[in-house]
Amino acid sequence: MRTDTGQVFRLEDYRRSDYRIPETRLAFDLDPEQTTVVSELVIERADDSAAGAPLVLDGDGLDLVALELNGEALGENAFEATPDRLTIHALPTDSTFRLTITTRVNPSANQALMGLYRSSGVYTTQCEAEGFRRITYYLDRPDILSVYRVRLEADKATAPLLLSNGNPVEAGDLPGGRHFAVWDDPHPKPSYLFALVAGDLGVVTDEFVTMSSRRVALGIHVEKGKEPRAAYAMDALKRSMKWDEEVFGLEYDLDVFNIVAVSDFNMGAMENKGLNIFNDKYVLADEETATDADFANIEAIIAHEYFHNWTGNRITCRDWFQLCLKEGLTVFRDHEFSADQRSRAVKRIAEVRTLKAHQFPEDQGPLAHPVRPRRYREINNFYTATVYEKGSEVVRMIRTILGAEAFRAGMDLYFERHDGDAATIEDFLTVFEEVSGRDLSQFALWYHQAGTPNVSVKASHNAATGELVLDIEQSSPPTPGESRKRLMHIPLAFGLVGPDGRDMVWESVEGATIEHGVLHVRKRKHHVRFTGISERPRLSLNRGFSAPITLSVEEKPEDRAFLARHDGDLFSRWQALGGLMSDAIIEASKHLRDGRKAEYGREIPELCGVIATDDRLEEAYRALALALPSEADVAREIGANIDPDAILAARNGLVEAIAAANGDTFAALYDQLADSEPFTPDAASAGRRSLRNMLLDYLSSGPGATGRAAAQYRDAGNMTDRSAALSVLVMRHPDAADTKAALADFETRFGDDALVMDKWFQIQAAAPGAGALETVRTLTTHPGFSIANPNRVRSLIGTFSSANQTGFHRADGEGYRFFADIVLQVEQRNPQVAARLATGLRSWRSLEPKRKARAREALLRIASTENLSPDLRDIVERTLA
Ligand code: B3K
Ligand code: ZN
């Protein structure tokens, strides 16, 4: 494990390196335990002022075997090598020299899954952010761009496939059953984009002809026998390549593009130049083993990694503080891709749900940080929802402010000006200022200031004068290290909805700039006066979630109900209904806590009936509208003194009230939506399934109502319907015989398929109640569970801590104790996964006092463990601060 130096890296300390590495030649002699890496570097002094400066290369746990300078072995006094650093003092006076470094690494012993490791017998690498330094000493920072030539040598029988970045140039057999391959990548790249793969895998091949008629050979490499499950990923890849040409004018730039799926991977996937490496969860899919959500994720992640070829690889980041430059932008691009491939309104709702579920709690808790952080101790802990999802929202706001045309012109200028650069957020903003002539300096605060701003709106209407006044005020709560906030530029899309459900048109407006339906909030307060508004409108605010903010609006519940029925903007309709539901659950939970009876009223059940059966709306949209806010969503809205048991009871009460009012309608619709067609993963079919499965949940909410779900489980022709039925059984009727039978059947059917078994673990980990902990504890001893595999850990422990509010937050604190034990066990092998897992406790301060005290104890216990990795220490200390 890496030494924790406790060092803090600061944005303002950035300085260019004294040296450059224009050329990198790597030779790998691959062996499971003793891989030799020879790295031959052409090194250039950046300028004369660097003469005499020592060359300091990064390492991490390295073992130096040999070192030569310009072909001569270096004397012991000329350098200093530690596992974490190679310092060369005596350097030639010439501005260019050649350094040859030989290191030895043990891929099989690498359980951190950073650097070079083995997964199911396949050699693979992960270098972002700082994994390359676990392979060889290097200037392992993203502003050092180099062209790479890589020679791989391995045993031919066990590793017939030898891949690296760029184009293949040479291959052949060697004595002793070994063989080699040479890869050449002409595009200068930072070390974090280096990759190699060697192993015995199956492949699916295809071809893509680019817009300038170049042929690109495509390959997706997967575990042998699973090739048919890679077909959808291949289709998604080709659609991504086409889309990037059509929408951004961006063409692929090598002769080959390879994707490799591995089963042990710390995150979703990695955009290594020409050789994307994926968690197999995001490649493999067919109707029997993958859900519609899996298909959608595969499409999005294949696209995301491919899009990085331009946003990330051709234009990379100057330093890790600029991470959102590639991540936020690339998420924005993959969101747009999915919106074009599927339904825009549905996609937008799904994005906002994700943002609120993951980024809002981050922004509102101890781990809050700006989209572009200013300091870090462990960069791997900054691959966050803020950098990714809020980073994407910021790009979306730029487009909202500039309009689509100027936005595209700005992107074109960005590619033209910065191709081949290691760039900054300032570079990015400048192109948009130049093409639009706008001043984005206030807007830039979205990158620099943490926290979710709040906008409050009060309306008053005078029917006699036809005047509508909106009093708008912005405020931003303090976040760690930022007690005083500056005023933001918030683009607020809105509509004034008239009694007929149509947007009203005003005669004149003063008090704020409004362009194309977007009101620009820039001051603390705006007093906005509209004229020509004859009747009191309902305010449809933050349409399309034009800004990632919270809203406080003084409005009547009937106004919300009106918007939920009539708003012409589908996103806002969903938002209005969700707001009503959330308020109803909060109100009911207060009643239940005080020992009173919960009341839910008739409005919400009625609205659910209307929306469920409105066939002018897409099925996927109707399913999203019927989905109640999650327990965690409600907890976030309440904000403090959270009692998860009361929230669950209140939410279940609303489910039952909706089901009771709509039983017959829902049952008829459920039957009507039964799929007779053969399975296709397209958005419309997936939407039908999701509506039907949503109805199944309502229809199964009453006592003993297991029949429908048990039948659906039994007859399911695809994994979406099968796992949905299993989940309904487990969540609603954990102890029923039907549930036990379905769980046993699932295990028998899919026991050998790790990815499918993840669903089995996940579904059980989410089952609410006091017994949940015992279930999860027992599942950790199941033969299919492995503490070393990130997917297994995430599906069981990650689900328990993030999606099981009542089980994890058990009042006696046993959930936290168990969780802390597991986090510490995972950390022994894989600090990065442990640190990510530990963020499950980030909202501890909003719990009611007893739970809060117990959660704190668990965090303190982790914090006081000796020899904690820098990754985990950073998270727990910030969480406790
Ligand atoms: N860039 C990688 C993430 C690397 C995470 C390092 N801890 C995947 C992606 O965002 O596309
Ligand atoms: Zn990315």
Kindly give the residue spans of alpha helices, DSSP state H, lying in 718-766: 719-732, 737-750, 754-765
Tell me: cis bond preceding 129? Omega within 30 of 0 counts. Answer: yes
pLDDT in tens, 302-340: 999 999 999 999 999 999 999 999 999 999 999 999 999
Give the Cα separation of 349 and 537 in Å (integer): 24
> What is the mean pLDDT of the segment spanning 150-160?
98
Residue nearest to atom 4 of ligand 1 (CA): 128
Strands laid side by side in the 454-462 sheet: 508-510, 525-531, 467-475, 454-462, 550-553
Q: Which of 128, 134, 192, 313 to mutate to test the pocket of ligand 1 (most atoms within 8 A of CB)?
A: 128
Q: What sign does the dihedral 436-439-445-447 (CA atoms) show?
A: positive
- The mean of the pLDDT values for the chain is 97
DSSP 82: E
pLDDT of 48 over the 90 cut: no
Flag the least confident range among 41-55, 142-156, 611-625, 683-697.
Answer: 41-55
Q: Could you tell me the pLDDT band of residue 541, with boundaries at 50, 70 and 90?
A: very high
Q: How many helices (H) and strands (E) does the chain have?
A: 29, 33
Q: State which fold the 9-200 domain adopts.
A: Immunoglobulin-like (2.60.40)
Q: For ligand 1, is residue 317 a contact (CB within 6 Å)?
A: no
pLDDT in tens, 644-702: 999 999 999 999 999 999 999 999 999 999 987 899 999 999 999 999 999 999 999 99
Q: For ligand 1, is residue 380 a contact (CB within 6 Å)?
A: yes
Task: Report the CATH number of the 227-254+261-314 domain.
Answer: 3.30.2010.30
Q: What is the pLDDT of residue 716?
A: 97
The residues of the chain that CATH labels 2.60.40.1730 are 9-200
Q: For ligand 1, is residue 383 a contact (CB within 6 Å)?
A: yes
Q: Please say if 351 is a catalytic residue.
A: no
The ligand with the least distance to the CA atom of 130 is 1
pLDDT in tens, 447-501: 999 999 999 999 999 999 999 999 999 999 999 999 999 999 999 999 999 999 9
Q: State which fold the 570-880 domain adopts.
A: Zincin-like fold (1.25.50)
**φ and ψ at residue 538, rounded to 5 degrees:** -95, 140
Q: What is the pLDDT of residue 2?
A: 60
> What is the mean pLDDT of the segment spanning 63-87?
97
pLDDT of 570 over the 70 cut: yes
> What is the mean pLDDT of the segment spanning 807-832?
98
Could you tell me the distance, in angstroms and rounded to a whole number, from the CA of residue 414 to the centre of ligand 2?
Answer: 18
pLDDT of 1 over the 60 cut: no
**φ and ψ at residue 73, rounded to 5 degrees:** -60, 140
Q: Could you tell me the pLDDT band of residue 46, with boundaries at 50, 70 and 90?
A: very high
CA distances from residue 389 to 333, 359, 404, 416, 845 in whole angstroms, order as listed = 12, 7, 20, 26, 24
**φ and ψ at residue 640, rounded to 5 degrees:** -145, 155
Which amino acid is residue 619, in one-letter code? E
52 Rama sector, left if φ>0, alpha if ψ -120 to 50, beta otherwise: left
Q: What is the pLDDT of residue 770?
A: 83
CA distances from residue 763 to 82, 291, 702 in whole angstroms, order as listed = 46, 13, 20
Which amino acid is residue 767, in one-letter code? A
Q: Could you tell me the pLDDT band of residue 814, with boundaries at 50, 70 and 90?
A: very high
Q: What is the pLDDT of residue 3?
A: 60
What's the predicted TM-score (pTM) here? Answer: 0.98
Q: For ligand 1, is residue 129 a contact (CB within 6 Å)?
A: yes
Q: What is the pLDDT of residue 216?
A: 99
Beta-bridge mates of residue 473: 456, 525
Which amino acid is residue 678, in one-letter code? P
The residues of the chain that CATH labels 3.30.2010.30 are 227-254+261-314
The residues of the chain that CATH labels 2.60.40.1840 are 454-547
Cβ–Cβ under 8 Å, residues 39 and 869: no
> What is the mean pLDDT of the segment spanning 105-120?
98
Superfamily for 316-448? Neutral Protease Domain 2 (1.10.390.10)
Options 130, 299, 305, 327, the catalytic residue: 305
Give the Cα separation of 266 and 506 in Å (integer): 53
Q: What is the pLDDT of residue 769?
A: 86
pLDDT of 425 over the 80 cut: yes
Q: For ligand 1, is residue 324 a contact (CB within 6 Å)?
A: no
CATH class label, 454-547 = mainly beta
Ligand 1 atom nearest to 379, measured from its CA: 7
Q: What is the pLDDT of residue 49?
A: 82
pLDDT in tens, 706-761: 999 999 999 999 999 999 999 999 999 999 999 999 999 999 999 999 999 999 99
pLDDT above 90 coverage of the chain, percent: 97
Could you tell me the distance, in angstroms and rounded to a whole number, from the CA of residue 269 to the centre of ligand 1?
Answer: 7
SS3 for 632-658 is: HHHHHHHCCCECHHHHHHHHHHHHHHH
pLDDT above 70 coverage of the chain, percent: 100
Beta-bridge mates of residue 98: 42
HSE, side-chain direction, 13 A CA sphere, residue 345: 19
Flag the least confident range among 62-66, 75-79, 171-175, 195-199.
Answer: 75-79
pLDDT of 4 over the 70 cut: no
> What is the mean pLDDT of the segment spanning 754-779?
97
Q: Are strands 490-497 and 538-541 parallel, antiparallel or unpaired?
A: antiparallel
Q: Could you tell me the pLDDT band of residue 414, with boundaries at 50, 70 and 90?
A: very high
pLDDT in tens, 593-630: 999 999 999 999 999 999 999 999 999 999 999 999 99
Q: Which of 327, 334, 381 to mutate to test the pocket of ligand 1 (most atoms within 8 A of CB)?
A: 327
C-alpha R_g of the chain? 28
